[in-house]
Amino acid sequence: MSSSSTRRGATRQKLYEAAVTLIAEQGFSSTTVEEIADRAGVAKGTVYYNFASKTELFEGLLRHGVGLLTDSLRGAAADRPPLEALDAMVRAGLEFIAAYPSFAQLFVAETWRTNRAWHDTLRLLRDEAVSVVADVLDDAVRQGELAPDLDTRLTASALFGMVLVVALDWLAFQPERDIADVHAALVRLLHGRISA
């Protein structure tokens, strides 16, 4: 990678970090390009050099953040038996959201705003992340570890949403809890071990 593309990548990373924090705090419409540039410590022109518009910056931010999450889920599942992979993906999801809480809040908020210019992009990105979970569920069904009639796509969406919402709830309302406790509770629920 050339030094100019390395610099550009570092600049974009700073812009993403500034944008996600500001947009999570103030909303997309209330956040200006000037504020993003100021928070990132760059000139306003630098924002427009890297992105044609605030909308393009936001779409890039979504791609970047969901890409990191998807890579994290894939990495957690790699070379593991399916049920162990599911447990590892739950942990990876919790760790990702603990590391990027502003992005997770933004992702959840934007999921419900279907009138946004980037909604189709967000749907594709979300589907890609959910597909990683669904692929592991498909493997578990093929190996006889889960019921053959399991709707793996819907179940994957449920697991993805469960981790996302529980992680945000944990960080907002129970931050004193250890991640291991949260993971253990979700894994017990996932494996149906909550009855007496």
DSSP-based three-state secondary structure for 183: helix
Domain boundaries of the chain, sorted by first residue: 1-51, 55-192
Name the DSSP class of 147. Answer: -
pTM of the complete model: 0.87
Highest mean pLDDT among 5-14, 20-29, 145-154: 145-154
| pLDDT at residue number 196 | 53
Quote the CA–CA distance of 160 and 154 in Å, as a whole number. 10
What pLDDT, in 10s, does the model give residues 70-99?
999 999 999 999 999 999 999 999 999 999
CATH dotted code for 1-51? 1.10.10.60
Is CATH 3.90.76.10 the classification given to domain 55-192? no
Mean pLDDT across the chain: 90
